[in-house]
Amino acid sequence: MEQTPFKAAIKPGLTIGLAALVITYLAYFIDSSLLASGWFGLVAFVLFFVLIIYFGKQYRAELGGFMSFGTAFNFSFIAMIVSGLIGLVGQILLYHVIDPSLPGVLADHSLDTALKMMENFGASPDALSPEQLDEMRERTMSSFSVSGQIKNFGFGLIIYAIIALILAAILKKRDKSLDY
Protein backbone atom coordinates (compact mmCIF):
# COMPACT_ATOMS: atom_id res chain seq x y z
CA MET A 1 0.00 0.00 0.00
CA GLU A 2 1.29 3.41 -1.02
CA GLN A 3 2.02 5.90 1.74
CA THR A 4 0.67 9.43 1.60
CA PRO A 5 3.29 12.19 1.40
CA PHE A 6 2.33 13.21 4.93
CA LYS A 7 3.00 9.77 6.42
CA ALA A 8 6.10 9.25 4.29
CA ALA A 9 7.58 12.57 5.46
CA ILE A 10 7.35 11.83 9.20
CA LYS A 11 10.33 9.45 9.44
CA PRO A 12 12.66 11.58 7.27
CA GLY A 13 11.57 14.67 9.21
CA LEU A 14 12.41 12.94 12.49
CA THR A 15 15.76 11.78 11.11
CA ILE A 16 16.68 15.23 9.79
CA GLY A 17 15.52 16.92 12.98
CA LEU A 18 17.52 14.57 15.18
CA ALA A 19 20.59 14.95 12.94
CA ALA A 20 20.25 18.74 13.19
CA LEU A 21 20.00 18.47 16.98
CA VAL A 22 23.10 16.29 17.17
CA ILE A 23 25.04 18.79 15.05
CA THR A 24 23.75 21.72 17.13
CA TYR A 25 24.67 20.07 20.41
CA LEU A 26 28.09 19.01 19.08
CA ALA A 27 28.76 22.60 18.00
CA TYR A 28 27.63 23.78 21.43
CA PHE A 29 29.98 21.38 23.22
CA ILE A 30 32.91 22.18 20.91
CA ASP A 31 32.50 25.98 20.96
CA SER A 32 29.17 27.66 21.65
CA SER A 33 30.10 30.66 19.49
CA LEU A 34 29.82 28.34 16.47
CA LEU A 35 26.04 28.50 16.91
CA ALA A 36 26.12 32.20 16.00
CA SER A 37 28.46 31.64 13.06
CA GLY A 38 27.23 32.21 9.54
CA TRP A 39 29.27 29.22 8.38
CA PHE A 40 27.53 26.92 10.83
CA GLY A 41 24.15 28.08 9.57
CA LEU A 42 25.19 27.62 5.94
CA VAL A 43 26.55 24.11 6.54
CA ALA A 44 23.38 23.16 8.44
CA PHE A 45 21.21 24.54 5.62
CA VAL A 46 23.10 22.63 2.92
CA LEU A 47 22.94 19.41 4.96
CA PHE A 48 19.21 19.96 5.51
CA PHE A 49 18.66 20.50 1.77
CA VAL A 50 20.72 17.46 0.75
CA LEU A 51 18.99 15.14 3.23
CA ILE A 52 15.53 16.17 2.05
CA ILE A 53 16.54 15.52 -1.56
CA TYR A 54 17.95 12.13 -0.55
CA PHE A 55 14.79 11.10 1.33
CA GLY A 56 12.61 12.60 -1.40
CA LYS A 57 14.31 10.47 -4.04
CA GLN A 58 13.79 7.41 -1.87
CA TYR A 59 10.09 8.24 -1.57
CA ARG A 60 9.86 8.83 -5.32
CA ALA A 61 11.41 5.39 -5.89
CA GLU A 62 8.78 3.88 -3.55
CA LEU A 63 6.13 5.50 -5.73
CA GLY A 64 7.47 3.77 -8.82
CA GLY A 65 10.00 6.38 -9.90
CA PHE A 66 7.54 9.18 -10.56
CA MET A 67 6.20 11.93 -8.34
CA SER A 68 4.03 14.94 -9.05
CA PHE A 69 5.03 18.45 -8.04
CA GLY A 70 2.25 18.55 -5.43
CA THR A 71 3.30 15.28 -3.85
CA ALA A 72 6.94 16.38 -3.78
CA PHE A 73 5.94 19.72 -2.22
CA ASN A 74 3.81 18.06 0.46
CA PHE A 75 6.55 15.56 1.28
CA SER A 76 9.25 18.24 1.52
CA PHE A 77 7.14 20.72 3.48
CA ILE A 78 5.95 18.17 6.05
CA ALA A 79 9.47 16.78 6.50
CA MET A 80 10.76 20.31 7.14
CA ILE A 81 7.96 21.08 9.61
CA VAL A 82 8.63 17.88 11.59
CA SER A 83 12.37 18.58 11.53
CA GLY A 84 11.78 22.20 12.54
CA LEU A 85 9.58 21.21 15.47
CA ILE A 86 12.25 18.83 16.76
CA GLY A 87 14.85 21.56 16.35
CA LEU A 88 12.60 24.05 18.16
CA VAL A 89 12.16 21.75 21.16
CA GLY A 90 15.89 20.96 21.21
CA GLN A 91 16.86 24.63 21.09
CA ILE A 92 14.38 25.58 23.80
CA LEU A 93 15.95 22.88 25.98
CA LEU A 94 19.45 24.11 25.15
CA TYR A 95 18.73 27.80 25.74
CA HIS A 96 16.49 27.52 28.78
CA VAL A 97 17.34 24.27 30.59
CA ILE A 98 20.85 23.13 29.70
CA ASP A 99 22.55 26.55 29.47
CA PRO A 100 20.36 29.57 30.28
CA SER A 101 23.40 31.87 29.87
CA LEU A 102 23.89 30.79 26.24
CA PRO A 103 21.43 33.32 24.72
CA GLY A 104 23.47 36.16 26.25
CA VAL A 105 26.72 34.74 24.87
CA LEU A 106 25.19 34.28 21.41
CA ALA A 107 23.61 37.75 21.48
CA ASP A 108 26.98 39.31 22.33
CA HIS A 109 28.69 37.30 19.58
CA SER A 110 26.01 38.31 17.06
CA LEU A 111 26.31 41.96 18.07
CA ASP A 112 30.09 41.84 17.65
CA THR A 113 29.66 40.25 14.23
CA ALA A 114 27.16 42.94 13.21
CA LEU A 115 29.52 45.71 14.35
CA LYS A 116 32.42 44.15 12.41
CA MET A 117 30.21 44.00 9.31
CA MET A 118 29.40 47.67 9.76
CA GLU A 119 33.11 48.44 9.82
CA ASN A 120 33.68 46.33 6.70
CA PHE A 121 31.04 48.35 4.86
CA GLY A 122 32.64 51.62 5.93
CA ALA A 123 30.23 52.58 8.72
CA SER A 124 31.61 53.41 12.11
CA PRO A 125 30.14 51.42 15.01
CA ASP A 126 31.17 54.34 17.22
CA ALA A 127 28.41 56.35 15.55
CA LEU A 128 25.85 54.21 17.37
CA SER A 129 24.69 55.47 20.73
CA PRO A 130 24.81 53.16 23.76
CA GLU A 131 21.00 53.07 23.66
CA GLN A 132 21.07 51.82 20.06
CA LEU A 133 23.60 49.15 20.97
CA ASP A 134 21.47 48.08 23.95
CA GLU A 135 18.39 47.96 21.71
CA MET A 136 20.21 45.78 19.16
CA ARG A 137 21.34 43.41 21.94
CA GLU A 138 17.83 43.25 23.45
CA ARG A 139 16.29 42.49 20.05
CA THR A 140 18.80 39.69 19.57
CA MET A 141 18.19 38.38 23.09
CA SER A 142 14.42 38.38 22.54
CA SER A 143 14.82 35.99 19.62
CA PHE A 144 16.20 33.41 22.07
CA SER A 145 13.19 33.58 24.42
CA VAL A 146 10.61 30.81 24.13
CA SER A 147 8.08 33.18 22.56
CA GLY A 148 10.79 34.56 20.25
CA GLN A 149 11.75 31.07 19.13
CA ILE A 150 8.12 30.14 18.48
CA LYS A 151 7.62 33.36 16.53
CA ASN A 152 10.78 32.66 14.53
CA PHE A 153 9.49 29.16 13.80
CA GLY A 154 6.25 30.71 12.53
CA PHE A 155 8.21 32.98 10.18
CA GLY A 156 10.36 29.99 9.29
CA LEU A 157 7.27 28.22 7.94
CA ILE A 158 7.21 30.77 5.12
CA ILE A 159 10.85 29.99 4.35
CA TYR A 160 10.08 26.26 4.57
CA ALA A 161 7.30 26.69 2.01
CA ILE A 162 9.65 28.49 -0.41
CA ILE A 163 12.33 25.83 0.05
CA ALA A 164 9.68 23.10 -0.41
CA LEU A 165 8.71 24.69 -3.73
CA ILE A 166 12.34 24.53 -4.87
CA LEU A 167 12.71 20.96 -3.62
CA ALA A 168 9.46 19.94 -5.30
CA ALA A 169 10.79 21.26 -8.61
CA ILE A 170 13.93 19.16 -8.09
CA LEU A 171 12.15 15.99 -6.92
CA LYS A 172 9.19 15.86 -9.29
CA LYS A 173 9.37 13.44 -12.17
CA ARG A 174 6.62 12.98 -14.68
CA ASP A 175 5.84 9.68 -16.39
CA LYS A 176 6.24 10.69 -20.05
CA SER A 177 4.86 7.35 -21.22
CA LEU A 178 1.42 8.59 -20.22
CA ASP A 179 1.64 11.43 -22.79
CA TYR A 180 -0.12 10.61 -26.03
Q: What is the mean pLDDT of the chain?
A: 89
Identify whether 180 is part of a domain. Answer: no
State the burial class of residue 131 (Cβ atoms within 10 Å of its Cβ: 0-12, 13-18, 19+): exposed
| Domain with 50 in it | 13-172
Identify whether 164 is part of a domain. Answer: yes
Identify whether 5 is part of a domain. Answer: no
Over residues 74-86, the mean pLDDT reads 96
pLDDT digits (tens, 9 = 90+) for 94-104: 999 999 999 98
Which is higher by pLDDT, 137 or 17? Answer: 17
Identify whether 140 is part of a domain. Answer: yes
Identify whether 7 is part of a domain. Answer: no
Identify whether 98 is part of a domain. Answer: yes
The single-letter DSSP state of residue 36 is G
Residue 180, pLDDT > 70, answer no
Q: How many structural domains is the chain composed of? A: 1
Identify whether 2 is part of a domain. Answer: no
Residue 176, pLDDT > 90, answer no
The single-letter DSSP state of residue 97 is I
Over residues 17-36, the mean pLDDT reads 91
Identify whether 157 is part of a domain. Answer: yes
pLDDT digits (tens, 9 = 90+) for 121-174: 877 767 777 888 788 888 888 888 899 999 999 999 999 999 999 999 999 988
Closest CA to 164 of 70, 86, 94: 70
Residue 50, pLDDT > 90, answer yes
Over residues 45-69, the mean pLDDT reads 93
Closest CA to 108 of 147, 146, 144: 144
